[in-house]
Amino acid sequence: MKSLKHLADKPWERKGIIGGLKPEGVFDTAAEKVALGFFLVVATVLFSLFTISYFIRMELPDWRPLAEPAQLWLNTGLLVLSSALFQLARNKVKRGEARNVLTLYLAGGIVAFLFIAGQLLVWGGLQEAGVYLTPNPAASFYYLLTGVHALHLLGGLWVWSKTSIRLLSGSEPKDVRLSIELCTLYWHFLLVVWLALFAILSNT
């Protein structure tokens, strides 16, 4: 890696300009993308720690495994669809096409809302079945993990709504290309997180 090699530089030996005519960042990409990259690592740490806590808590005797409702498969499908729609919008805008970008992008966000609604329905179903936040720690973790995941998705939807408003009020897709790319990346990340959470929740 270029930046790692730089760590061996002896700055006291070399004088003069290093690099080209322009300032150079460590990463050859937009600052927003670097920031999102860091944020995704932060979020990964967050979800990893929740997961580790889950496994540690699971070992204790009062843990009673939860039977996850089948509707979660449908919800997972919705999130996959949402991610795919974002990817299609991103592919188009990357190729410089403007047609259908707005539709795909809006649809991606709306399907994500449907996913959250689906998650809420599962919550309602669990409550009807008498599975509350307390006393079973497995249920506590179920509500906590799905809730934190949904909150991250809502944060993404806030950015999505801002970009959507710009697109609806006449901005060209190429003007919001970066936002679309970042949203897509974030959606894929949340999809991977959900798949991991779903796998853990269903198998324990």
Q: What minimum distance in Å lies between the beta carbon of 183 and other proteins?
A: 16
Q: Which is nearer to other proteins, 49 or 98 (CB)?
A: 49
C-beta pairs of 40-49 under 8 Å, 24+ apart in sequence: 40/185, 40/186, 40/189, 43/152, 43/189, 43/193, 44/193, 46/148, 47/148, 47/149, 47/193, 47/196, 47/197
Q: State how far the Cα of 196 lies from the Cα of 190, in Å rounded to an integer.
A: 10
Q: How far is the CB of 131 from other proteins (least distance, A)?
A: 13
Question: Are residues 136 and 57 in contact, defined by beta-carbon separation less than 8 angstroms?
Answer: no
53/161 with CB nearer other proteins: 53
Instruction: Assess contact for 138 and 65: CB atoms under 8 A.
Output: yes
CB of 62 to other proteins, least distance (A): 3
Distance CA 108, CA 2 (A): 36
In the complex, least distance from residue 89 CB atom to other proteins, rounded to whole angstroms: 17
- Nearest approach, Cβ of residue 42 and other proteins (Å): 5
Choice between 9 and 71, CB closer to other proteins = 9
- Whichever of 78 and 180 has its CB closer to other proteins, that residue is 180
Choice between 59 and 128, CB closer to other proteins = 59
Q: How far is the CB of 26 from other proteins (least distance, A)?
A: 5
| Token pair recorded at residue 49 | 């720690």
- Contacts with other proteins by CB under 8 A lie at 3, 6-13, 15-19, 21-31, 34-35, 38-39, 41-42, 45-46, 49-50, 53, 56-57, 60-63, 133-135, 137, 140, 144, 148
- The C-alpha torsion from 134 through 135 and 136 to 139, rounded to 10°, is 0
In whole angstroms, give the CA distance from residue 72 to residue 57.
Answer: 23
Nearer to other proteins, 4 or 67 (CB): 4
Q: What angle do CA 7, 11, 14 make, to 5 degrees?
A: 125
